[in-house]
Amino acid sequence: MPPHEDMTQKPKHLKQTYGRLLGDFRSQIWVLIVVLLFLVASGVLTIISPSLLSDILGDSSRFMSVDTTGTIHILWTDLFASFSVLLVVYITSSFLSWISDWILEKVVANYTYLMRKRVKEKLDTLPLSYFDKTETGEILQRGTNDIDNIGRNLPSIITSLGRGITVFLGCIVAMFIKSWQLALVVLATLPLTLIIIVIIAGKSRKQFKLYRKKYGELESQIEEGYSGFMLLKLFNREEKAQELFDSTNGVMTEADRKSQWISGFIYPAMRFIYNLGFVAVSLVAGFVYHDAAGIAMLVAFIMYLNIFQQPFEDLGQIYSSIQSMGAAAERIYVVLDEPQEKADDPDCLASEEAVQGDVVFDHVAFSYDANKPLITDMNLHVKPGEMVAIVGPTGAGKTTLVNLLMRFYEVNSGAIILDGTNINHYSREALRGSMGMVLQDTWLFSGSIKDNIRYGRSDATDDEIKAACVAAHADHFIETLPDGYDFQLKEEGSNISQGQRQLLTIARAIVSKPKIMILDEATSSVDTRTEQAIQDAMEKMMRNRTSFVIAHRLSTIKNAKLILVMNKGSIIEMGTHKELLAKNGFYADLYNAQFLGNNPMAVRENETEQRHLDPNPAK
């Protein structure tokens, strides 16, 4: 879905979507049947009440008597008894409606809870490639707002349809039983009602969809603006950002105003039709009936006319709710239908205790896009305890290599062997439990520093946490914070510096005691002095551990036993730092560009371009 796709679009497969939605309530089918029976009963009682009132008014003689002097005596007992029956009907109808709403809200609340759980469990099983192609905001939208959309709309849809259909059909039957002449008068208002509803609903729906679309755009602008607030200030883009915000906000406000203004016509239009019907019913009743019973009949039909129009007043909102809920459900099912990671083999190795760290890449090929090969034929053998450094330009495939090792992605062909066993025959939990990883981009959550470090190993003691922080040179700055290790970090650790966040992630990796260590530019956010101290700590931590170190700063990997130079998905050079410099190849160009202030690669590219433009340069 594009970033700003209309989140209130019509569902493409409404029938199938609602079929699946009903299937999700299969276990609650008898509860829903009971709810519908309550709604039908409430609707029937609503239809009965005008008839009861008409009978009471039409037979008023049994509530009064006239003596020989002409004095009228009201029989209060009989009058109260008759109206008590009507009162019981009203109360019972309201109670059945309330109890059905209460049951339905409980059923739907349980559904939304289970659906959130299903979506969360599904997301946990999806491959990393899904998150590469799907925006975080979109995932959040489907897992929260879309499910809430169903929870808000479903009860009102079921209630309105169950009660509305009963009232509509029952009202027609009751009117024809009471007086077919007046029933035809009331039905004559139906075409005009439908025309007005369709026109108004269509116009307001367009504006409402535009409003929801712009609402999503505005949310995105706010999120991007404040997450990159420093960048906004740096490039003096506040005015442009404000102009964009004002433009989107203006369109959204206008669409909201128009949708509410157009929708506002429904009620007065229904009242206008009601008044027309009232006049017509009164005129016809005057011609057809000429006694007290006619007044009672007129009262009954005025009530029927009002009841008859109630479902139509809700029709526009029900239609929009059905479309909105169907689209939300369809987006949720798209997530639930996504192909998930291949399940672990039943007989896979489920423990990392025996892992030694012997890693072999055997003719490995991989690409994110089938039409754009990245790694074509990688062969590599890393023995237990060896430290391998991986260098190369951006896009060379360095991070992809370790992502394949951790099975964040599956290889297209070939195999990765760990201690003589294909990594596909390890459970993902065991495989990843044997590895520690420090990324260039830090990730911390809201909570104490202690809890963030313990995330690497849940049973780590306070002493182990402190020792890991000392090794990562994080202990000093932690002790200066209020509450020390109990200092509460904000979201993503935004209340400490980037370098301090990096130190905490390194401490978290140390405390996990991994068999294999992966460092992806782990010291990129610390100063040179701290970097050297961390390098010393890392060397101690990586001792006797298989380690993969992705580095752009070549000074950090001079002492590596093996350096892999990657370019365009292939290993083009390998050796020690001195051996690679002596080759005067790609690695030497990288090193000279970084430390000697020149760029041999750029010079070579320029010479190649010049020869292409002028194959016979003047000597």
Average pLDDT, the chain: 78
Position 613 scores a pLDDT of 41
* Alpha-carbon span 431 to 407, nearest angstrom: 8
In tens, the pLDDT along 171-204 reads: 888 778 777 887 788 788 778 877 877 777 667 7
- Among 96-105, 115-124, 307-316, 391-400, name the one with the lowest average pLDDT: 307-316
Count CB atoms within 10 A of the CB of residue 582. Answer: 12
Residue 523, helix vs strand vs coil = coil
Whole-number pLDDT of residue 292: 58
Average pLDDT of the segment spanning 358-377:
84
| Residue 465 near residue 403 (C-beta atoms within 8 A) | no
Residue 436: count of CB within 10 angstroms of its CB: 25
User: Is the predicted pLDDT of residue 3 greater than 60, yes or no?
Assistant: no
Cβ contact 374:569 at 8 Å:
yes
Residue 360 has a pLDDT of 92
Contacts of 559 (CB under 8 A, 6+ apart): 539, 577
One fold for 14-65+73-336 and 440-513: no
pLDDT at 417: 92
Q: What are residue 65's DSSP bridge partners? A: 73
pTM for the full predicted model: 0.68
Is it the case that residue 4 has pLDDT exceeding 60?
A: no
Q: Which helix (H) or strand (E) segment is 66 a member of?
A: strand 64-66
pLDDT at position 172: 82
Distance CA 562, CA 460 (A): 33
In angstroms, the CA 540 to CA 550 distance is 18
DSSP for 536-563, written as a single string = HHHHHHHTTSEEEEE-S-GGGGTT-SEE
Most confident of 6-20, 54-68, 511-525: 511-525
Provide, rounded to the nearest whole percent, the portion of the chain with pLDDT above 70. Answer: 80
> Which whole number is the average pLDDT over 376-403?
83
Residue 273 structure tokens: 């039709």
Written as six digits, the tokens of 2 are 């594009």
Domains of the chain by residue range: 14-65+73-336, 347-434+516-521+545-619, 440-513
Cβ contacts of 345-354, under 8 Å, gap ≥ 24: 345/424, 345/425, 348/425, 348/426, 348/427, 348/430, 349/421, 349/425, 349/426, 349/427, 349/430, 350/427, 350/429, 350/430, 351/430, 352/426, 352/430, 352/431, 352/433, 352/434, 352/515, 354/419
Q: What's the pLDDT score for residue 606?
A: 44
Q: pLDDT tens digit string along 239-263?
A: 777 888 888 888 888 877 777 777 6
Top CATH class, 347-434+516-521+545-619: alpha beta
Helix ranges, 59-145 (H): 76-125, 128-133, 136-140
Q: How confident is the model at residue 8 (pLDDT cuts 50, 70, 90)?
A: very low
| Domain 14-65+73-336, CATH homologous superfamily name and number | ABC transporter type 1, transmembrane domain (1.20.1560.10)
pLDDT at 5: 41
* 69 or 80, higher pLDDT: 80
**Segment 253-296, tens digit of pLDDT:** 887 777 777 766 776 777 777 777 777 777 777 777 666 566 77
Statement: residue 552 has pLDDT above 60? yes
Q: What is the CATH number of domain 440-513?
A: 3.40.50.300
Q: Mean pLDDT check: name the lowest of 82-96, 155-169, 442-456, 595-609.
A: 595-609
* Average pLDDT rounded to a whole number, residues 51-72: 63
Number of residues in the chain: 619
Dump pLDDT digits (tens) for 469-512: 888 888 888 988 888 899 988 877 778 887 788 888 888 888 88
Inter-residue contact 64 to 76 (CB < 8 Å): no
Q: How far apart are CA 440 and CA 450, in angstroms?
A: 21
CA 73 to chain CA centroid, nearest Å: 70
